[in-house]
Structure 1
């Protein structure tokens, strides 16, 4: 079964509203590039806040001769690719897509290791199974705090601990703040992010050592909304323009958006050149 057939069966062509011959399948970083090229002014952020696409050389990267890197910071993985804009407007992939398991869930895994150190591995593994709803509450509160964290955050982070977890464990009363909250030192909480952030930076550095002419680094995907992670990446590459779409989550993957927007479909019709799929693409 071809990818086109799969797409048609999943109704991506919206009951033949669009011609199936016009359907194009893109890897997520490529689709994100198309999406970001179509954004209106004021919908990208750099370290100084919202900016116009015309300002500070951002647009230049999307013009013929421009070169930019897409860094798709997803939940499980981080995927990167480098495009150069040809004279006719097509995107030429000049560095093969690559990445690793450094997405947002890696932060969750580090937090899990922290919880295991606090309560013991055997107890926590049993608690996750037998008290799944309570564990979900803990995970959701951590997710809330994870999204709030900024690089400049300087206070301790408080995570609400389910009462059953407190009652059934040997947790020390001294570790518990008012309203059943566990206080985590600021630096310790940021340490949850550091392994993935450092791996992402190292990977971008390795790409730039091969392709030094990159003008712009575009961060997309859910993990790109982390103020801490985006700040670390910007600090690591002060000589590069690093920007994040205001709706970074929507930017990856925008495959269905491409199908719905005639203007983006028009852009897509002249986009990709010289690309080969090494892996299967999710729909």
Structure 2
């Protein structure tokens, strides 16, 4: 490919005026080349860690089993709070630490121990974290040293929380292998960490850094985008069903072949991701549109449950329970989580909600009356809620209303995908994630899109679709052919001032007019990038003795931003390029890849020797 001469140079994070020529070539898209660590040929097991907002899990399969049947994936069984004889394939995402920050427990075990401490009023001094994952989505300027608050308001570095969890899950699986008589060497295990596709680039880097700090080698670590992992799993399910000519529950024949397009909606605990995929040659998949979504997952439903109880019993009653009866509060949260997934109702169409005795006592103490039907009749829920001792029988229509906000946002995201020309002819809408268990969500989504020639499918055990797909992705990353850029990415350059340029960006150097703050595009939002495809640009030293070049990286939702100072542009980090040697003629070719799960980069000097280039997205 011919190089195009230009009169541009980078604007650095350093307070330095650059000489003309610090960059002498426009960014270009080059041939495919992998920037990820090379696959380890001695990998015998792929293990996925799925740390969700509400629940987490571990799954794995051996390379030999994957070759026989990709869907034969094992999930670690977690002892539940019901006893060692009862197990589940996911555990609550809760972490209990000692007062000095040392690990104490995770999951059901942490929930149980903290409840016991709270019941004895002995929880003070301990850290108890839950729903912490949403911080990585909600924080728009992630810092490597950012702080998390536990349920009591005590603070700890967020990285410590995630490192504790990843290390515990990793070590737990290794112990499980050993107990089964199937001890695996860590160098034979490839680890996959799941992250939402709609996360910011910095949040993905935060998870990668935490995994490395937890003891996972970066050579055997890979991130998996959650909606993409779910698509990989459901594609394989569709493929096997189509081979067996199996029909779905409504009698539709399943078809999965090259050209089949389908929508995957991951109804998670914190976020909802919706993506459009197409089946390609060799059973690969590719993005047909960038993922869309937002923070309207299952926790939205939990919030509506709590708002209902607040309206029914009073805000002061709920606040008292939360502040001074932690064990009972956690008991109530567990009951809501259970009813959220299984809200079918009894023969009278009512759903039974068990409420803690402390909640009844607080209500009666503050209101100087018994919690009876007469008390409920005084609220907006008269005739819709019955009181039976320590139980509330709630009209199913009331419970269904708790899902409305989540449902409306989910439908909005799906419709935004369906509006795209690429979605024309989509054959399946596949619902996965914990909330896909909800009969209400499934039924209402089917009703909404019943006039379209598109089948709504929910795979068996939809809450495991992401983690199973992550294991499959780890075995065969090449299953993903291409991805679509979520944003337009670029750098700031100075070039010759042209007619039509904004005068406020004009600067004079050696009598020559230049335009500063120009957005030099590297990747374009909505554009497809092959996995491994790179964008390259050449960086020249602007000082004889400089050892590093620091270049800010920007993003924008617009396709053609003009200046990095535009309102739509946001600085997301910097490229730190090592500049070996001496003199101003030193050149490093920087390659960036926008088709991977996360932005990757590498550098090469004139001798084609590897040069370190770091992408720093965390402050």
Establish whether TM, by shorter chain, passes 0.5: yes
Query: Is residue 232–residue 469 contact of structure 2 (8 Å, CA) maintained in 1?
Result: no
Other-structure match for 1:253 = 467
Query: Is residue 287–residue 482 contact of structure 2 (8 Å, CA) maintained in 1?
Result: yes
The SS at the match of 1:252 is helix
- Equivalent of residue 79 in structure 1, options 269, 273, 292: 273
How do 1:1-283 residues align onto structure 2 when only pairs under 5 Å count?
Answer: 15-17=186-188, 25-39=223-237, 40-41=240-241, 46-48=248-250, 56-60=252-256, 63-150=257-344, 155-169=349-363, 170=367, 172-174=371-373, 175=376, 177-210=387-420, 211-238=423-450, 239=452, 240-254=454-468, 257-258=471-472, 265-266=475-476, 268-276=477-485
Deviations 1:159-210 (A, max 9, x none): 1222221112136422463332112122111111112112211221121111
The SS at the match of 1:213 is coil
Query: Is residue 107–residue 193 contact of structure 1 (8 Å, CA) maintained in 2?
Result: yes
Query: Is residue 232–residue 285 contact of structure 2 (8 Å, CA) maintained in 1?
Result: no
The SS at the match of 2:258 is coil
Query: Normalising to structure 2: TM-score of the pair?
Result: 0.38
Change (3 A) 1:120 1:245: same
Change (3 A) 1:218 1:172: same
Aligned-partner Cα distance in 2 for 1:101–1:154 = 34
Deviation at 1:251, TM superposition (A): 0.6
Other-structure match for 2:505 = none
Query: Is residue 46–residue 242 contact of structure 1 (8 Å, CA) maintained in 2?
Result: no
Other-structure match for 2:583 = none
Query: Is residue 224–residue 470 contact of structure 2 (8 Å, CA) maintained in 1?
Result: no
The SS at the match of 2:444 is helix
Report which stretch shifted further, 208-217 or 70-79. Answer: 208-217
Change (3 A) 1:23 1:124: closer
Greater relative contact order: 1 or 2 (C-alpha under 8 angstroms, separation 6 or more)?
Answer: 1
Query: Normalising to structure 1: TM-score of the pair?
Result: 0.79
The SS at the match of 2:288 is strand
Deviation at 1:231, TM superposition (A): 1.0
Tell me the C-alpha RMSD between the 2 structures.
3.5
Deviation at 1:259, TM superposition (A): 6.9
- In terms of fraction of residues, the more helix-rich structure is 1
Query: Is residue 29–residue 80 contact of structure 1 (8 Å, CA) maintained in 2?
Result: yes
Aligned length: 264
Aligned-partner Cα distance in 1 for 2:447–2:438 = 14
Q: What residue ranges of structure 2 are gaps of 5+ in the alignment?
A: 1-34, 38-47, 49-165, 174-183, 191-217, 377-385, 488-571, 573-596, 599-619
The SS at the match of 1:249 is helix
Deviation at 1:130, TM superposition (A): 0.9
Larger gyration radius, structure 1 or structure 2: 2
Aligned-partner Cα distance in 1 for 2:473–2:279 = 22
Aligned-partner Cα distance in 2 for 1:194–1:153 = 23
- In terms of fraction of residues, the more strand-rich structure is 2
Aligned-partner Cα distance in 2 for 1:128–1:177 = 22
Query: Is residue 288–residue 484 contact of structure 2 (8 Å, CA) maintained in 1?
Result: no
Deviation at 1:58, TM superposition (A): 2.8
The SS at the match of 1:126 is helix
Deviations 1:231-267 (A, max 9, x none): 111111113111111021111233652377xxxx24x
Deviation at 1:122, TM superposition (A): 3.0
Change (3 A) 1:3 1:166: farther
Query: Is residue 349–residue 396 contact of structure 2 (8 Å, CA) maintained in 1?
Result: yes
Other-structure match for 1:51 = none
